[in-house]
């Protein structure tokens, strides 16, 4: 199994890119694994405590479970991937069965913040996007998908998201194998670039046009 870690700040376009990338490879060759699925369960917290949860710190991720699942997938064993709800800050009762694949793309804010996860990666890609573009994309996403207000998203961005980005995301740009400029987000162009980069590391895998 060839493992790719796709990293970038909140609002850098990682999820959108991942969905496009998988469509450009031969069917069933690539699987996408969202790091967000491995947020630690916070169902025991009060509602007030949940509202101030810091999802942008490495301590929020259950890396041990993720690494365990990666090792199982490498041995061709399917895994039960958790499903996380941002609304309840908890893992849902159902899981998603993930089958092993030739290529696994792990996409998420903190994919490079864990040394254990970095050591599992065959290729580390960083999507570099400016602060103001990431903010506008985060506002749009959180309003549409997470039921938040524009004001609350902006407040959280500057109190938590950006400081955590500067501490636990941006520094790892220096150790990425590839850094891609995602400011002018043309999804097809960026996805094509990433597919070509992955293909170059896989040599014998045919890439669909």
Taking residues 117-128, report their average pLDDT: 95
Confidence bin at 176 (pLDDT 50/70/90):
very high
* Cα angle, residue 74 at apex, residues 101 and 105 outer, rounded to 5°: 50
70 membership: H or E segment, kind and range: helix 63-74
| pTM for this entry | 0.88
Domains of the chain, by residue range, sit at 2-202
The CATH architecture to which 2-202 belongs is 3-Layer(aba) Sandwich (3.40)
Instruction: Say what the pLDDT of residue 207 is.
Output: 44
pLDDT in tens, 11-25: 898 988 898 999 998
Residue with tokens 């293909």: 199
Structure tokens at 50: 């949940």
Structure tokens at 21: 């990338």
């Amino acid at each position: 199994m060839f493992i790719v870690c796709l990293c970038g700040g909140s609002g850098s376009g990682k999820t959108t890119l991942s969905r496009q990338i998988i469509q450009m490879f031969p069917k069933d060759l690539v699987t996408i694994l969202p790091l967000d699925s491995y947020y630690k369960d916070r169902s025991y917290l009060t509602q007030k405590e949940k509202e101030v949860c810091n999802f942008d710190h490495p301590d929020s991720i259950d890396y041990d479970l993720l690494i365990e699942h990666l090792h199982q997938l490498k041995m061709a064993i399917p895994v039960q991937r958790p499903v996380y709800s941002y609304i309840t800050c908890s893992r849902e009762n159902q899981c998603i069965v993930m089958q092993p694949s030739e290529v696994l793309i792990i996409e998420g804010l903190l994919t490079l913040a864990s040394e254990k996860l970095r050591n599992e990666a065959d290729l580390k890609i960083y999507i570099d996007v400016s602060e103001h573009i990431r903010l506008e994309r985060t506002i749009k996403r959180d309003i549409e998908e997470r039921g938040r207000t524009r004001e609350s998203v902006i407040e959280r961005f500057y109190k938590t998201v950006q400081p955590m980005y500067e501490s636990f995301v941006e520094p790892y740009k220096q150790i990425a194998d590839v850094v891609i400029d995602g400011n002018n987000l043309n999804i097809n162009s960026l996805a094509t670039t990433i597919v070509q980069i992955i293909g170059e590391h896989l040599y014998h895998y045919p890439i669909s046009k």
